[in-house]
A and B are shown apart, each in its own frame.
Chain A
Amino acid sequence: MKKSVFTGTLVAASVVAGFAAAGTLDDVKAAGELKCGVSTGLVGFAAADANGVYHGFDVAVCRAVAAAVLGDGDKVKFVPTTGKTRFTALASGEVDMLARNTTWTFSRDVDLKFEFIGVNYYDGQGFMVPKALGVSSAKDLDGATVCIQTGTTTELNLADYFRSNNISYEPVPIETNAEGQAQYLSGACDVYTTDASGLAATRATFEKPDDHVVLPEIISKEPLGPLVRHGDNQWGDIVRWTLNALITAEELGITSANIASMSGAAGKNPEVNRLLGTEGDLGGMLGLDKQWAMRAIAQSGNYGEIFDSNIGEGSPVGIARGLNASWTDGGLIYSAPFR
């Protein structure tokens, strides 16, 4: 609870004591583990199972980076962060990167001094209400009590949306998704609002998901992506191109099933060869070895595989690819070329 103040103090303290801006790669290698900030628990995106092992769409990005850098996707220390504590955790160096349903915005990039390395999920803010309320549009929510996570874009969008539509609401600030779920299910708030992906993931854990509807309005753009601190471009490049490797792998048809054979020897497609290190030395330019991308992809599969197994239509969360289809299928997921 006091964690935000605590991490705030931590930032203050680390700022006072001296700050290591560059050299995250060396730090990670020296520590032998990647400290990755994830959410406190959002099924499908980042959640620990009964054995304490983390799984999820965001978790897979952390593991891919660890596999690329340290050669082992299990060498990750997952640090649960709330909407409020995540930025101080990253700024203070408590984590090396953040993969936590975080929206890329101007002020976070420019003013908070973070570097978003790409987008791994194109999202937008939605509303969930109990069916029994009989609400069919967000415009009918005048006077409703709304649960929101503090420290998010969600609370800013919400204020804008209700103000511009000239309707009132009563905000109930909460810190984690679990708290929000508890308040919502006990009826202490009428509406739960967050990223539509988060709503789908939350609803999937309900006892009776069918008693709740997600309203048709999507009131914002929420490009979610991993981020690192400003000022260490090498580290930023490593995380960026690891995500790009996962995306490109899907585009080029490299999967966890065929990667062993494809990376054995150079094949016909030069981009595949460059990506998997059988031709050229892209890894060396990053300060890594040639097989970095091969390991990242082998860890939990390409972008499409990660999507399908964690949040796709076959999973309990059941989200369609939609905007998050590869550009070759008409979606927005697109990587700059490996050359």
Chain B
Amino acid sequence: MSAITEPEKGGFQISQLLYDTRYRSMTIQIIALIGFLLAVGWLVRNAGQNLADLGKPLGFDFLWDQAGYDINQRLIEYNSTMSHGRAAIVGLLNTLLVAFLGCVTATIIGVAVGIMRLSKNWLISKLMTVYIEAFRNVPVLLWIIITMAIFIEIFPQPSHFRGEDAIASMKLFDSVALTNRGIYIPSPTFFPGSGPLIAVFFLSIVGIFFFGRWAKKRQEKTGEILPTFWIKLGIFILPSIAAYYILGKPMGLEYPELKGFNFKGGFYMRNSLISLWFALSLYTAAFIAETVRSGIQAISKGQTEAAAALGLRPGRITSLVVLPQALRVIIPPMISQYLNLTKNSSLAIAVGYMDITGTLGGITLNQTGREMESLIILMAIYLAISLSISTVMNQYNERVKLRER
């Protein structure tokens, strides 16, 4: 009964720290922690000392100095008289832009390819296999550079649009200009009285949302399925079109036009943005496709067969039975694909896209010689972006997770 003896009280000896299993792991951890902190302290002190010896003590004042360089793609107001800090923000927004666009398209392409790879059609599934293997096994930097090189070579230069017998012409009823400097598309212009039109547009989006909820409830009650897609599409466009004519066409399109050296007007998507976006999306989509495929294959065949036995059509089996379950397997690895894409976007300078690595980690670092400071900020920023992405995705994962009832 009393095989377990109480440890003797008061008889603690120093050697127990090492020989007593109750204390040993604690002792080792504390020693390791002290060693680690000492090493970090030594590195930090050394770095500070060496920077001081170089005559470059650590300091972040340069962020407020005038940058002096121009940036082509600016989502916020910026010119060369503004500060390095501002230039860094312009770069950061460009990073976020391409990362966001990339994640969206990579997901769409990836899911489609992943599903098609499982297709029973031999040709389609083999083509998808070729695509996936080609993209997964070549470094993304090469894809980025190749995309840009092809872009520059296949599209005509703006001067080819000039003159009576121009070699190149605009596409889609003269509304889109494809040039090797980028793509110009018409942009909306708003005249007075366009406010109500915009309001109608947003209201119809809200309407779609409510209709969707209503249709779902109704379906649960009556079992009847409405052609929701067509109805939603109708809600999406019809009221806006009606309002457009009733309000007397308060909105127009601004078409790109060749003026001087370049096209002016409309939206301008630079070749660097498109190449980077395209290459990153296709590259990451190949990985996402594999994730999707493994997620789908993880769902037992019995589920599909059972759904088929209930009379569901193949499309509905995928969207109602297989995908919702597969998502649970797919999402965690998907997070790391999004993180990869975002981090890979730092290769932007290869095509001259001015992301945060190009501005803060490139030109600013170079013009000010503040390597240490710039890299510290750069690392902190990428860390913050990555952590935000994982937080958001983890929350989504929580929501679709299998709930034990």
Contact = CB atoms under 8 A, between A and B. Distances in A.
A171 B71 contact: yes
Interface stretch (A84-92, A253-261, A289-297, A331-339): A84-92
Report the interface size class on chain B. Answer: 35 or more
Interface stretch (A51-59, A154-162, A198-206): A154-162
Nearest to A183: B152
Interface in B71-121: 71-72, 79-81
B43 interface: yes
B345 interface: no
A87 to B, nearest CB: 6
A263 interface: no
Interface stretch (B216-224, B279-287, B290-298, B353-361): B353-361
A19 B70 contact: no
B365 interface: yes
Nearest to B180: A188
Contacts of A21: 53-54
Contacts of B70: 155, 158-159, 162, 169, 171
B69 A16 contact: no
B375 A2 contact: no
A17 B70 CA distance: 35
Given A142-B260, A145-B262, A171 B72 contact: yes
A151 B357 CA distance: 13
A294 B271 CA distance: 53
B181 interface: yes
Contacts of B259: 143
A197 B54 CA distance: 33
Interface string A206-235: 000000000000000000000000110000
Q: In terms of DSSP, what is the predominant structure of the interface of chain B?
A: helix
A170 interface: yes
B358 A159 contact: no
A77 interface: no
Name the residue among B50, B157, B349, B374 with the largest chain A CB count within 10 angstroms.
Answer: B349
A141 B299 CA distance: 62
Interface in A38-86: 83-84
A5 interface: yes
Interface stretch (A28-36, A172-180, A307-315): A172-180
B362 A151 contact: yes
B271 A12 contact: no
B181 A4 contact: no
A322 B332 CA distance: 66
A266 interface: no
Nearest to B157: A187
Contacts of B53: 19, 21
A173 B372 contact: no
B352 interface: yes
Contacts of A84: 362-363, 366
B369 A186 contact: no
B349 A173 contact: yes
A80 to B, nearest CB: 16
A231 B352 contact: no
A231 to B, nearest CB: 7
B55 A230 contact: yes
B46 A18 contact: yes
Nearest to A144: B261
A19 B159 contact: no
A15 B54 contact: yes
Contacts of B153: 186
B80 to A, nearest CB: 4
A169 B71 CA distance: 10
B368 interface: yes
Interface string A1-27: 110110011011001111101000000
A16 B50 CA distance: 7
B352 A17 contact: no
Nearest to A13: B47
B341 interface: no
B369 A91 contact: yes
A163 interface: yes
Contacts of A195: none
A243 B375 CA distance: 36
A163 B358 CA distance: 22
A286 to B, nearest CB: 24
Given A16-B47, A16-B50, A186 B68 contact: no
A11 B372 contact: yes
B401 interface: no
B239 to A, nearest CB: 40
Nearest to A185: B152
Interface string A120-131: 000000000000
Contacts of B68: 156, 159-160
A4 B378 CA distance: 13
A5 B375 contact: yes
Nearest to B153: A186
Interface string B160-180: 100000000000000000001
Interface in B25-53: 43, 46-47, 50-51, 53
A136 to B, nearest CB: 15
A24 B69 CA distance: 34
B350 interface: yes
**Residue picked from B70, B79, B149, most chain A C-beta under 10 Å:** B70
Contact of A156 (B50, B261, B367, B375): B367
24 contacts: A1-B347, A1-B350, A4-B349, A5-B357, A5-B361, A8-B361, A15-B47, A16-B43, A19-B50, A19-B54, A84-B363, A141-B261, A144-B260, A151-B367, A155-B363, A156-B80, A160-B68, A163-B81, A170-B72, A172-B352, A175-B349, A182-B152, A187-B158, A188-B271
Interface of B: 43, 46-47, 50-51, 53-56, 68-72, 79-81, 141, 149, 152-153, 157-160, 180-181, 259-262, 264, 271-272, 346-347, 349-350, 352, 354, 357-358, 361-363, 365-369, 371-372, 374-375, 378
The 5 closest A-B pairs by CB, nearest first: A187-B157, A112-B369, A159-B80, A151-B366, A1-B350
Interface of A: 1-2, 4-5, 8-9, 11-12, 15-19, 21, 83-84, 87-88, 91, 107-108, 111-113, 132-133, 141-145, 150-151, 155-156, 158-160, 162-163, 169-175, 182-183, 186-190, 230-231
